[in-house]
Structure 1
Amino acid sequence: MLQHFHVNTPLLESVSMSKMAGTAVYLKMENCQPSGSFKIRGVGHLCQQLASRSKGVVCSSGGNAGMAAAYVARKMGLPATVVVPSSTPPLVVRRLQEQGAAVKVAGKVWDDANAEALRLAETEQLTFVPPFDHPLLWEGHASVVAEAAAALGPGARPGAVLLSVGGGGLLCGVVRGLKDAGWADVPVIAMETVGADCFNAAIKAGELVTLDDITSEAKCLGAKTVCRRAFELSQSGEATIISELVTDQEALRAVQMFLDEERVLVEMACGAALAAIYSGLIPRLQAQGRLPTPLRPLLVIVCGGSSINMEQLISLQQKLQS
Structure 2
Amino acid sequence: VVAGMEGPLAECAKGEHFHIVTPLLESWPLSQVVDMPVFLKYENVQPTGSFKIRGIGHFCQEVAKKGCRHLVCSSGGNAGIAAAYAARKLGIPATIVLPEGTSLQVVRRLQGEGAEVQLTGKVWDEANLRAQELAKKDGWVNIHPFDHPLIWEGHGSLVVEDSEAVNAVQRFLDDERTLVEPACGAALAAIYSGLLGRLQAEGRLHPSPASVVVIVCGGNNIDSGELQALKAQLGQG
Please state which band the TM-score falls in when normalised by the shorter chain. Answer: 0.5 to 0.7
Structure-2 separation of matches of 1:99 and 1:124 = 23
Query: Identity of paired residues, percent?
Result: 54
Distance 1:76 1:112, change over 3 A: same
Distance of 2:16 and 2:51 partners within structure 1 = 17
For the Cα contact (< 8 Å) 1:63–1:88, is it kept in 2? no
Post-superposition CA distance 1:25-69 (Å, at most 9, x none)? 111111111111111111111111112432211111031111111
Cα contact 1:51–1:57 (8 A) shared by 2: no
Cα deviation for residue 155 of structure 1 reads 9.1
Higher strand share: 1
Contact preservation (8 Å) 2:85, 2:113: yes
Q: Determine the C-alpha separation between the residues in 1 that align with 2:156 and 2:80.
A: 20
CA 1:34–1:113: 2 relative to 1, 3 Å = same
Q: Aligned-pair RMSD on alpha carbons?
A: 2.0
Is the 1:85–1:107 Cα contact (8 Å) retained in structure 2? yes
User: Distance in 1 between the 2:95 and 2:138 partners?
Assistant: 11
Cα distance change on mapping 1:107 and 1:21 into 2, 3 Å: farther
User: Which runs of no fewer than 5 residues in structure 1 stay unpaired?
Assistant: 157-295, 298-322
**Highest Rg: 1 or 2?**
2
Deviation at 1:154, TM superposition (A): 6.4
Given that residues 59 and 66 in structure 1 are in contact (C-alpha distance below 8 angstroms), is that contact kept between their aligned partners in structure 2?
yes
1:19 aligns with: 32
AA at the equivalent of 1:65: A
Matched residue pairs, number? 158
Conserved 8 A contact 2:76-2:96:
no
Task: Indicate if the aligned counterparts of 2:94 and 2:115 stay in contact, CA closer than 8 A.
Answer: yes
Superposition TM-score, scaled by structure 2 size: 0.61
Greater relative contact order (CA < 8 Å, ≥ 6 in sequence) = 1
Write the distance in 1 (CA, Å) between the matches of 2:37 and 2:168. Answer: 17
Q: 1:3 to 1:155 in 2, by over 3 A?
A: closer
Q: Does 1:30 align with 2:37?
A: no
Q: Counterpart amino acid of 1:51?
A: A
Equivalents in 2 of 1:124, 1:105: separation in Å?
22
TM-score (norm 1): 0.46
Q: Distance in 2 between matches of 1:141 and 1:87?
A: 30
The change in CA–CA distance for 1:124 and 1:94 in structure 2 (over 3 A counts) is farther
